[in-house]
Structure 1
Amino acid sequence: MLETLLPILIFSALALAVIGAVRRIRLWRQGRPARVDLLRGLAAMPRRYLVDLHHVVARDKVMSNTHVATAGGFVAAAVLMILVHGLGLGSSESMGPILGGLLLLASAAMFVGSLFVAKRRRNPPARLSKGPWMRLPKSLMAFSASVFLLTLPTLGILPAGTGSVILALALAAVLVWGLGEMFFGMTWGGPMKHAFAGALHLAFHRRPERFSTKGGEGNRSTGLKALNLDDPKAPLGVETPSDFTWNQLLGFDACVQCGRCEAACPAFAAGQPLNPKKLIQDMVVGMAGGSDAHYAGSPYPGKPVGEHAGTPHGPIVAREGTALVDAETLWSCTTCRACVEECPMMIEHVDAIVDMRRFLTLEHGNTPGKGAEVLDNLIATDNPGGFDPGSRMHWAADLNLPLIRDLGQVDVLLWLGDGVFDMRNQRTLRALVKVLRAAGVDFAVLGNEERDSGDVARRLGDEATFQSLAKRNIATLSQYRFQCIVTCDPHSFHVLGNEYGELGGPDFNANWVVRHHSTYIAELFEAGRLHFAPWKGGRVTYHDPCYLGRYNGEYEAPRNVLKALGIEVAEMQRSGFRSRCCGGGGGAPITDIPGKQRIPDMRMNDVKETGAELVAVGCPQCTAMLEGVVDATAEVRDIAELVADALVERPAGSGGSSDSARPPQSASGTRPVMKEVTS
């Protein structure tokens, strides 16, 4: 009887899964077109799953091993089950014992993995979604145990007799339960939906360059994608779920609701109305149509579940009435990419948020707080503060800084950024100038020719203002010859290095080198061009800027500089790629969405836990945010300031010619070089 019943059950489940897959694909295809390499993506999917995805999952060793056993066991058991029970190969005298034995091993491994899943779900962390996810361990065990026991007769282990028929029917009923979750639920909806959508998401990812290739590694690919402002038919951002590209919708559907993004999000921790996990789930709700009433995870702080709903072609953020999300949810994001860094499914949360911001800003002019004022200032004065563009160099009147327009060619172009209008950041710039001169660096500045990099405008969604600033800066930079750009602002560093290239046109040299000042100072020290007095201060910790670390992978250079100063860094619990944001990115200080506490206050509490008397930083926005904390227990100083204070004259007779630390020239030797710098 089982020989007849099992194939019917298996192929019925497969047929329903195929029907569900077609239905699911239609939901994704509501989105805008996106170019993907179909065959290459499918071919690369196994490696992306086994290498790139598990590189993130492996940060939690227990869950990594659990996932290997459960997911690996399921894939192997499903394939072998079709061969053994579906196609009847288990009765083959030659292949039956081998295939049956392998099926027993695969289903046993899956069952062991499901036990660990069940253990985790007994008292799940707050970040994990509950609801349907609480039944997943039972479904995993039902599938694996029933397959294991139903396979025993193929090896002659299950005893014959009338009782075995009743047992077999009972096991078949349990198998139906498992098949329903594993196959039917994988495409129709349920906890296992992430397996089907996740596999295709890896194949057709919005940023395929993030993935490793054979014998190499993937790129960070953190620059925002440019809008085509010359095409009158191109949408200005995302108004409805169907305005996302189809592979973005696919990516949202791949969410496993593990809550790693929620745990890492500084806005969520501060009690602002943002939860990256729920935001992604809201986009899934909008894609399929419905409300968030069945969402079983942590809500947006201060916003109960069940009050939001949407449709594929309805507005995500409505001016009136019910919508998928409130505008303040989008404006709470600091664009720190902590969510993206932690996501095991490699979903691009920040891309989606900025896409939605673009519509609010470009179409509605709906930018909260001082957003509209800052954008108007950028348009009128080329700087967010609205200062007279002709006063950009007033702070350096006594420094006699060389202008590149007078020289035409230098080794280093020093990009000052809009910190020139801030008295606190002027101290950092003065320190950096002192360091460059002590090392004998041939450098110059653009002076009044320099404009805002456009970072703030782009993060606030004003793509038009960003592109205008970027293209004018590109035109200015292209007039001069230099070997690299050095800046103390990670936001300018990121935009110049990772986002200007897409706007440069066919004549733009895509090999421009941009360095953060900590990286360049480290190189100068290694080349013997800087010498420091021993550190005599107190305990020091270091705060990793998001746009230097997570965006560009530079974690070691700042620490190497501090080490060269004789400082042993007292690391915060959240440091490196898990560093907590200062709260200054993404225009967050401008939109100023209230929460239960301030993000910089939380970061200074992290500093306090180390017992540090001083926190070293490498970003003007981090400096401003952390120094704005009331009753802070640690002083905030930029790395350039610490280096400038420790400088001593080069010992007589020491080496280190002025050529020894020069950055590499471009291939042509005439045009600047710009590329993403990663550690």
Structure 2
Amino acid sequence: MATREIFWNIEPFGIILYFLLIPLAVVLAYGLYRRYRLWRLGQPDNRLDNLGRRLWSFAVTGVVDGFIHRRFLREPYPGLIHFLMFWGALFFLLAAVIDFITHYTIGGLQGAPYLGISFAVDVLGIAAIIGVIFAAYRRYIQRPQRLDNKPENAIALALFFFIVLTGFIVEGLRIAAEHDPWAAWQPGGWVVAQIFGGLSEGTLLTLHRSLWWFHMALVLGAITYVALTFSSLAHIVVAPFNVLFRSSRPKGALAPIDLEEAETFGAAKITDFTWKQLLDLDSCTRCGRCQDACPAYATEKPLSPKKVIQDLKRHWLEVGPSLLAAKDSGGNGGNPGDNGVSMIGDVILEDEIWSCTTCRACQEVCPVFVEHIDKIIDMRRNLVLEQAEIPETAESALRCIEDRGHSCRGTTATRSWCLSLDVVHLAEDRDVDIVYFVGCAAALEDRNMKVAVAVVEVLKAAGLKVGVLCEEETCCGEPARRLGNEYLFQIQAQKNIEVFNSYGIKKIVVSCPHCYNTIKNEYPQFGGVFEVVHHSQLIAELIKRGRLKPGNALGKTVTYHDACYLGRHNDIYEEPRQVVKAIPGSRLVEMQRSRRRSFCCGGGGGRFWMEERIGTRINEARTQQIIETKADIVATACPYCLQMFEDAIKAKEASEFLKAMDLAELVAAAIEQRSTG
């Protein structure tokens, strides 16, 4: 019967290993406790809300992004490297656990189960060694820009490699000494056995016993090293907790500030972040995926999401011990550890903070679900609400919202022109099919006014009775919130919620993804729960139901740009493409960076109202990607994107062969007849 003795050639000394596990457990507990105390320097944050849904989400994510490696494998080369190392290490661990349990319950694995597990462990062990070799080659020979090499990286790879290698050597020495008839089921060990097969039995036994203890010393030493240094290998322990405790808010929703109870606004010190935000810092593995995805970094801005996280971590670990000492001695854990270093300005530059477009590309690719945007917004909140520091042009937009109820500084237009459309003014008639929340840009900026006209034309063609608030509509507040003025945002949110409730509004259509995200995902934080649809979703549904029948042939090649707040923030990818494909004579071509990988237009996160003085303009970089598709039209579903592309097309002198249009404009031009069936 195929089997193997668990402590072959080690008895009676194998029991020593169990005694060694006791101090190892103490060291591990001590290391985790030290880190736990550092995490607890952060502010309280309830991350056990919706526990049932949270646990289910954790389980699904564990399977999809952990075992299957979905996020990793979106980049096949580094993803496959990690996949091989992950599964090799996991099976080594599982095999050890199974060996232990079966040894003390049924006398050890035997027969087919033993052979199957032995074969799987060896194959995956070989795969793990291949993974380590390619990881070292990529890190130290190819040296991609996003990877920064530290001694801990070399130590991690060396430990991994030699633990697996010595495991195979120990196995091979046993096979050679025992003349194991089932050796073919352990291909890694079999190869080693061929190398050492000519040695005497005594030599094989001595080598086996010595290397077995050396192998165990490597394993125990690696665990001790991780526990005491909390190097990058600690993500094996920390990352699952970071995934479990990730935000349960909708992806596009920021955390609100309790303006009446908050002692400080935003984050000026490391202790102003929550404990979960500090856990984020430990979870980051410095893989650089976020940096590669960041449009600000790609266009020579000072922002790198990876660098922000690592700089905050470095600062946290520098000031943390003195903060804990002050706390233990009865202090409040405040300034004693700051060492005269300002987190905003010294650790994180203001230009880094204001360069972020909040496009969420960083969080979309992060394999351990680090939440970059919340930290940047918290620092903006402190700059704006406590230090009164904000770029001048952004400040004028906020002042415009405060004084005039919209963000379109310099315009002389008013929302009353909307009544010239074939719509119903809710103040006169509340009996409508749907309420169109026009938004600031579509109501007050010349180019986007044409989009509002097209939206109404399309909805009317489908037989819908459309209502508008006209002058009672005010800015949804999104620019204020992303620019850090939470106070102004909450004022705007409450105003709109009160108006919506006063008219009994239940269903709202918007043509701006930023309005969509704010009303749908953030107004519920203040009691405003409404059904919100984006016009691309509604148009796609009307076409599907036959109420809209585009008939006029477009005869153009169209590429669709995924707006960040429609795509990554709200997972709306298919409906806009369905709309384009439904237009006769249109040919849809995709950009290299589309859907989840879409490249921001540069207008999100309040950047629409800021001058872009550093590096290449983001909208021009994206427009170059559009030009490379050789499309005639870039279709958008966002007023910010539309305006950013209009400007970039002119700047790149591409107006003769490229046009930016909203989806509603494309459909309005293609409608052949109205069908209300």
User: Does 2:669 align with 1:648?
Assistant: no
Matched residue, 1:298: none
Q: How far apart are 1:316 and its partner, in Å?
A: 8.0
CA pair 80-404 structure 1, distance change in 2 beyond 3 A: same
**1:13-36 superposed Cα distances (whole Å, 9 cap, x missing partner):** 443222211112111111112223
Letter of the 2:236 counterpart: A
1:265-664 aligned at under 5 Å gives the runs: 265-289=294-318, 317-318=342-343, 323-386=346-409, 391-396=413-418, 398-399=420-421, 401-419=423-441, 420-504=443-527, 508=528, 510=529, 512-566=530-584, 567-629=586-648, 630-633=651-654, 634-650=658-674, 656-657=676-677
5 Å-filtered alignment, 1:116-155, equals 116-122=131-137, 123-131=142-150, 132-150=152-170
Displacement of 1:490 in angstroms is 0.7
In the alignment, the residues of structure 2 paired with residue 147 and residue 351 of structure 1 have an alpha-carbon distance, to the nearest angstrom, of 44
> Is 1:77–1:103's contact at 8 Å kept on the other side of the alignment?
no
Higher-Rg member (1/2) = 2
Letter in 1 for 2:652: D
Structure 2 Cα separation of the partners of residues 189 and 43 of structure 1? 29
Change in Cα spacing, 1:107 to 1:356, as seen in structure 2 (3 Å) is: farther
Asked if 1:37 corresponds to 2:58, the answer is no
Question: Please, which of 200, 213, 229 is the counterpart of residue 259 of structure 2?
Answer: 229
- Residue 81 of structure 1 contacts residue 147 of structure 1 at CA under 8 Å; is this kept in 2? no
Offset at residue 532 of structure 1 (A): 2.3
Change in Cα spacing, 1:186 to 1:193, as seen in structure 2 (3 Å) is farther
Residues of 1 paired with 2:94 and 2:617: CA distance?
52
Percentage of matched positions with identical amino acids: 31
Q: What is the identity, as a one-letter code, of the residue corresponding to 2:233? A: M
| Mapped partners of 2:211, 2:393: distance in 1 | 66
| CA apart distance, 1:223 | 0.9
User: Would you say the 8 A contact 1:70–1:111 is kept in 2?
Assistant: no
Higher helix fraction: Structure 1 or Structure 2? 2
**1:564-608: CA deviations, max 9, x gaps?**
112121110001111100000001133435332111111111111
Larger CA deviation: 364-373 vs 574-583: 364-373
Pairing 1:249–2:278 present: yes
Inter-CA distance 447–228: structure 2 relative to 1 (3 Å threshold): same
Per-residue CA deviations over 1:134-174 (Å, capped at 9, x if unaligned) read: 44332211112223434567774687424643564356445
Partners of 2:258 and 2:622 lie apart in 1 by 38
Residue number in structure 2 paired with 1:300: none
* 3-state SS in 2 of match to 1:21: helix
Determine the structure 1 residue equivalent to 2:331.
none
Q: Deviations over 1:281-312 (max 9, x none)?
A: 12222221279xxxxxxxxxxxxxxxxxx997
Q: Give TM-score scaled by structure 2 length.
A: 0.83
Alignment partner, residue 661 of structure 1: none
2:71 is equivalent to residue 71 of structure 1: no
3-state SS of paired residue (1:628): helix
Q: Are the structure 2 counterparts of residues 9 and 496 from structure 1 closer, same or farther at C-alpha, using a change threshold of 3 Å? A: same
Q: Secondary structure at the match of 2:613?
A: coil
| Aligned-partner residue type, residue 614 of structure 2 | G
Amino acid at match of 1:457: A
Match of 1:203 in 2: 244
Output one character per residue of 1:393-443: Cα deviation in whole Å (capped at 9) or x when no partner: 254464364211111231111111111221111111112122222222101
**RMSD between superposed Cα atoms in Å:** 3.1
2:265 is paired with a residue of what secondary structure? coil
- What is the rounded CA distance, in whole Å, between the counterparts of 2:149 and 2:34 in structure 1? 25
Q: What is the deviation of 1:193?
A: 1.4
- 3-state secondary structure, aligned to 2:564: coil
Q: How many Å separate the matches in 2 of 1:319 and 1:83?
A: 51
CA displacement 1:430-470 (0-9 Å, x = unmatched): 12122222222101110010000101000011100000000
CA contact (8 A) 1:100 1:154 kept: no
Q: How far is 1:627 from its partner?
A: 1.0
**What is aligned with 1:57?**
72
The answer to which of 11-20 and 370-379 deviates more is 11-20
Q: Distance in 2 between matches of 1:117 and 1:134?
A: 11
Distance in 2 between the 1:316 and 1:520 partners? 52
Tell me the amino acid that sits aligned with residue 359 of structure 2: C
Task: Please give the alpha-carbon distance, in whole angstroms, between the structure 2 residues aligned to 1:598 and 1:316.
Answer: 32
CA contact (8 A) 2:542 2:548 kept: yes
Residues 445 and 103 (structure 1 numbering): CA distance in 2 closer, same or farther, change over 3 Å?
Answer: same
Q: Output the CA distance in 2 between the equivalents of 1:267 and 1:355.
A: 19
Letter paired with 2:555: G
Residue-by-residue CA offset, 1:304-330 (whole Å, 9 max, x unaligned): xxxxxx99767985577xx32111111
